[in-house]
Chain A
Amino acid sequence: MPSIDPTTRDLWQVIAATDEIAPGIVETTLLLDTPIALTRDNAGNPVVWRRTDEEQGDEVDAEAILDRLPATTGYGYIWTSLGNPPADLFPIPEYAEADRKNMSCGSIGIHVSAPRAVENFLDMGHFPYVHTDILGAEPHTEVKEYDVEVSEERDEVLATRCRFIQPRAAKSATTAMEVEYVYRVPHPFCSVLYKSCPEDESRRDVIAIFLQPMTEERCRAHLLQSMIDSTSTITDLRRFQQTIFGQDKPILENQYPKRLPLDPRSETPIRADKSAIAYRRWLSQKGITYGVIPMAS
């Protein structure tokens, strides 16, 4: 079994959408090569433990589970940790705004490491080729200059002033528009995207991706949308996001090697990759070794 670096061990890790876990019914999954089981107690609180001989679908009395892993809920998902997690999850304040439609958009397995999937989420250059006629289209292939910083205070990578012309930026968009993005990477395996909202110019839609590292080369992507959209149904909004993700999946699964290489000399960056370069460096500085190919020391 691969070793789990201390930083990764102490992180909160997403494992399931809260709504999809029925009280008293065992669900099983894999986190950091560790088989785990989870359910919710009668009060609705998550209960997570290292899987022993339970099977998925078994009924349990959650009170009887004594050897529990830390567990919390946030942004519609259940989170756990194999170590000592911080008191709180990273903040997404918009989630609490009363008029937003918050929804989980499914949990999709991908045969690639979690950091590769984060990097793909940060990348605008692939829009015209992978999400043709939705998030991008030729002739708009140029990635304009944008700003990236690693915020020490908040310990996150922040990319701002990202602009891209999109034929259909959101479910509610009807014509091509230049959208402005802000990307945050507040957690080594999670990223939050803010994009201009077609319905309200003064506010921004929020799309987040939380990756559950199952093994070093396999993960599950859990998607969150927090939208300002008065017309679309939740089903439509979910389907839109799943379409986008379905286009990324085959590309991600053809990335080779599957773990993200952190040595700057392993792949060729261009200016458009500024955020990916900052992300790789940030992972390296944090001492993350899980799901990456660390720099040879």
Chain B
Amino acid sequence: MTLSVSDPTWYPIASSEDLPFRHVYAGQLLGRELAVWRADDGNVNVWENRCLHRGVRLSIGINEGGELKCQYHGWRYANRSAGCTYIPAHPADAPARRIQNRTYPVREAYGLIWSAANDEQAFRPFPGAEGHDWFALRPMPVNAAPEDVLAALAGLAPDDQPADLLPGLAVRFGGTYYFVQPVDACRAVIRGLLAEPPAEPVATLRHYNETLTKLRDRLERAARKKPAPEPLQPAFDKVSADLATMPDIAIPKGNTITVVVKRKWTSADGVIGFELAARTGHLPTFQPGAHIDIHLPNGMTRQYSITNGPGELMSYIIGVKAESASKGGSKVLVETVREGDLLSISEPRNNFPLRRDATRTVLIAGGIGITPLLSMARFLDKSSLPYELHYFTRAGETVAFRADLEALHGKVTFHTGVPRDEIGATIASALGQWSMAQHVYVCGPGPMLETVRETAAAQGWPEEAIHFEYFKNDKVIDNSSAFDVELARSAMTLHVPSGKTIMEVMRDAGLTVPSSCEQGACGTCLTTVIEGDVDHQDVYLNNSEKASNRCMMTCVSRAKSARLVLDI
């Protein structure tokens, strides 16, 4: 038998015991190096053992429980998806692209961790696997060809009880199973399992160790006399073309994902929680502060922040305010969507990135604005970074996600029913005077956002330390200009008169244009600009995106030049 780097067979690569919490184990299989780690939710990750940025082994990385942090540049990768969640060199906008480490299939069973070179075969238990309380022996590494190791193990069987060869370099006799982990063409690890825990575990382990040590010495002596086989040469997958070039401003793609409403509950008076799960596997990586667009049954699109913590990708949890004044978006979710229903959502987008190198982070939430800040608090909490969370609710309104907030280790303060004229003073004392590397993040009603901005500025907080997310554009839109738009893909030139938006003109011309808030706050109508000078009037794009002149919102933005060329 010749080993192949693309062998799809499942092999054991570690014992469950090798993966204590907050540790990274260096595994090997078929010439590859693997970083194997257990997240705090119990999930085991098997990744290619190199950070995609500069190739440093992730087995020397730091396991933060929900993310793994590379030691070279501090990049963080999420549990389950291996997606990059933070690039400290560019904290304001990174990661603008989806960067994902190579992952391998994994299964934890019978006291061992199993993996394979690819996903071609489903995991199958070995014959006789079920119905036992398996006990794993100490692994024994051997510098010899895996097939020679297997043959020698078979030779250990007593004469009256011949060994039973099993698929996947395994052998059985009596109640003992041996699996040969093919590390490389000339290296292997013997992993043994006993069908039941022995009465005297230490003595038993010692007995097997002695037997396997003798076997190893014999195999290595023999291997030295033979020419060494060529080591396996696994290829490193190339990163995708868009990851190999300098990152641009990210224009979210129109990809949608179907999710199941797994749970719907009342989190607080007037706030409904929804848990949205993937139909199979996990959902895409998101960053703290990110939101998803939900495509509602009535054709509308609405944005909701993800409240989850790091590496929690089995479902997204959102909070929806059941406002009577709702234009119909949230109302549909609250009134007609039921557990078990399917919904279409966008990939997570982040217009509210959290810096994770601050010396102090202040999170201020008003009402339903708690949702992005809950996620931020969870990320900061998991990394043991200092933060304070202030949650303002009106009198009579109850606190959403209270149990989740109380489970955090940071300083969480609930401000309930603070009279309007005292809110400013409360915010002022929560913020304190600014000093270097302090950041405040705020999400809530417009007037509250303004109070925080003004108070912070008055107390010495510079603009770049104040972060906020609008769900609404309160600016007065100036629609007095008139200009032409050339739609490059539609081969059409339209005139936009004063008083009409680009979007309205496009709709009048018979084009179908996606939109949601129609006030420059949600990002649904984000469009690539090919040529021309944009008059941005939205609150969605940040300053660098606006300055790039590469993208715009067709619902409110206009042209400063006589002509705009759009990628529509």
A interface residues (Cβ-Cβ under 8 A, vs B): 119, 123, 125-126, 128-130, 138-143, 250-251, 254-257, 261, 263-272, 274, 277
Would you call A255 and B245 a contact (CB within 8 A)?
no
- Known A128-B357, A139-B357; contact A265-B238, beta-carbon cutoff 8 A: yes
**Complex partner residue of B72 from A129, A138, A257, CB under 8 angstroms:** A129
Q: Chain A interface secondary structure, helix, strand, loop or mixed?
A: loop
Among B50, B54, B71, B240: residue with most chain A CB under 10 A: B54
Would you call B55 and A255 a contact (CB within 8 A)?
yes
In whole angstroms, how far apart are the Cα atoms of A265 and B357 in the complex? Answer: 29
Inter-chain contacts of A142 with B (CB < 8 A): 88-92
Would you call A141 and B52 a contact (CB within 8 A)?
no
Inter-chain contacts of A126 with B (CB < 8 A): 72-73
- CB-defined interface of B239-254 with A at 8 Å, one 1/0 digit per residue? 1110111110000000
In whole angstroms, how far apart are the Cα atoms of A96 and B129 in the complex? Answer: 75
- Known A264-B244, A266-B239; contact A256-B50, beta-carbon cutoff 8 A: yes
Would you call B74 and A270 a contact (CB within 8 A)?
no
In whole angstroms, how far apart are the Cα atoms of A123 and B55 in the complex? Answer: 14
In whole angstroms, how far apart are the Cα atoms of A142 and B238 in the complex? Answer: 27
In whole angstroms, how far apart are the Cα atoms of A277 and B244 in the complex? Answer: 10
Inter-chain contacts of A255 with B (CB < 8 A): 54-57
Would you call A139 and B90 a contact (CB within 8 A)?
no
- Known A141-B357, A270-B87, A270-B90; contact A251-B71, beta-carbon cutoff 8 A: yes
CB distance from B172 to the nearest CB of A (A): 36
- Known A125-B73, A268-B244, A269-B246; contact A141-B88, beta-carbon cutoff 8 A: yes
> 8 A-B contacts, Cβ less than 8 Å apart?
A125-B89, A140-B357, A256-B55, A256-B56, A265-B238, A270-B90, A270-B246, A271-B90
Interface size on B, residues (CB 8 A): 38
**Complex partner residue of B245 from A123, A140, A141, A264, CB under 8 angstroms:** A264
CB distance from A250 to the nearest CB of B (A): 8
- Known A139-B357, A266-B236, A266-B238; contact A129-B243, beta-carbon cutoff 8 A: no
Would you call B244 and A272 a contact (CB within 8 A)?
no
- Known A139-B357, A254-B57, A270-B87; contact A130-B71, beta-carbon cutoff 8 A: yes
CB distance from A35 to the nearest CB of B (A): 24
Q: Does B53 contact A (CB under 8 A)?
A: yes
In whole angstroms, how far apart are the Cα atoms of A271 and B52 in the complex? Answer: 15
- Known A251-B72, A268-B99, A268-B243; contact A125-B238, beta-carbon cutoff 8 A: no
**Complex partner residue of B88 from A128, A264, A277, CB under 8 angstroms:** A128
- CB-defined interface of B401-420 with A at 8 Å, one 1/0 digit per residue? 00000000000000000000
In whole angstroms, how far apart are the Cα atoms of A263 and B236 in the complex? Answer: 12
Would you call A256 and B57 a contact (CB within 8 A)?
yes
- Known A126-B72, A128-B74; contact A267-B54, beta-carbon cutoff 8 A: yes
User: B96's closest neighbor in chain A, by CB?
Assistant: A270
User: A274's closest neighbor in chain B, by CB?
Assistant: B246
Would you call B33 and A256 a contact (CB within 8 A)?
yes
Q: Does B60 contact A (CB under 8 A)?
A: yes
Inter-chain contacts of A141 with B (CB < 8 A): 74, 88-89, 91, 357
**Complex partner residue of A272 from B55, B89, B359, CB under 8 angstroms:** B89
In whole angstroms, how far apart are the Cα atoms of A283 and B372 in the complex? Answer: 45
In whole angstroms, how far apart are the Cα atoms of A269 and B247 in the complex? Answer: 8
Would you call B236 and A257 a contact (CB within 8 A)?
yes
CB distance from B542 to the nearest CB of A (A): 15
- Which B residues, 175 to 190, have Cβ-Cβ distances below 8 Å to chain A? none
CB distance from A107 to the nearest CB of B (A): 24
- What would 14 more interface pairs be, CB under 8 Å, given A142-B89, A268-B243? A138-B88, A139-B355, A141-B357, A142-B90, A251-B72, A255-B54, A255-B55, A256-B55, A263-B238, A266-B238, A270-B53, A270-B94, A271-B246, A277-B246
In whole angstroms, how far apart are the Cα atoms of A130 and B72 in the complex? Answer: 6
- CB-defined interface of B51-67 with A at 8 Å, one 1/0 digit per residue? 01111110010000000
- Known A130-B72, A251-B72; contact A267-B247, beta-carbon cutoff 8 A: no
In whole angstroms, how far apart are the Cα atoms of A254 and B71 in the complex? Answer: 10
Would you call A270 and B247 a contact (CB within 8 A)?
yes
Would you call A251 and B56 a contact (CB within 8 A)?
yes
Q: Does B85 contact A (CB under 8 A)?
A: no
**Complex partner residue of A269 from B88, B91, B240, B244, CB under 8 angstroms:** B244
In whole angstroms, how far apart are the Cα atoms of A116 and B74 in the complex? Answer: 19
Q: Does B219 contact A (CB under 8 A)?
A: no
- Which B residues, 202 to 240, have Cβ-Cβ distances below 8 Å to chain A? 236, 238-240
Among A119, A143, A269: residue with most chain B CB under 10 A: A269
**Complex partner residue of A265 from B56, B244, B358, CB under 8 angstroms:** B244
In whole angstroms, how far apart are the Cα atoms of A138 and B355 in the complex? Answer: 11
**Complex partner residue of B56 from A140, A254, A270, CB under 8 angstroms:** A254
Would you call B90 and A267 a contact (CB within 8 A)?
no
In whole angstroms, how far apart are the Cα atoms of A200 and B44 in the complex? Answer: 54
User: A138's closest neighbor in chain B, by CB?
Assistant: B357
- CB-defined interface of B81-125 with A at 8 Å, one 1/0 digit per residue? 000000111111010000100000000000000000000000000
- Known A268-B99, A270-B94; contact A257-B55, beta-carbon cutoff 8 A: yes
Inter-chain contacts of A265 with B (CB < 8 A): 238-241, 243-244
Q: Does B49 contact A (CB under 8 A)?
A: yes
CB distance from A90 to the nearest CB of B (A): 26
Task: Pick the 3 closest A-B CB pairs, nearest first.
Answer: A141-B88, A139-B437, A272-B89
User: B101's closest neighbor in chain A, by CB?
Assistant: A268
User: B74's closest neighbor in chain A, by CB?
Assistant: A129
In whole angstroms, how far apart are the Cα atoms of A126 and B33 in the complex? Answer: 23
In whole angstroms, how far apart are the Cα atoms of A264 and B245 in the complex? Answer: 8
Would you call A272 and B90 a contact (CB within 8 A)?
yes
In whole angstroms, how far apart are the Cα atoms of A167 and B521 in the complex? Answer: 40
In whole angstroms, how far apart are the Cα atoms of A98 and B241 in the complex? Answer: 51
In whole angstroms, how far apart are the Cα atoms of A277 and B247 in the complex? Answer: 13
CB distance from B511 to the nearest CB of A (A): 35
CB distance from A136 to the nearest CB of B (A): 10
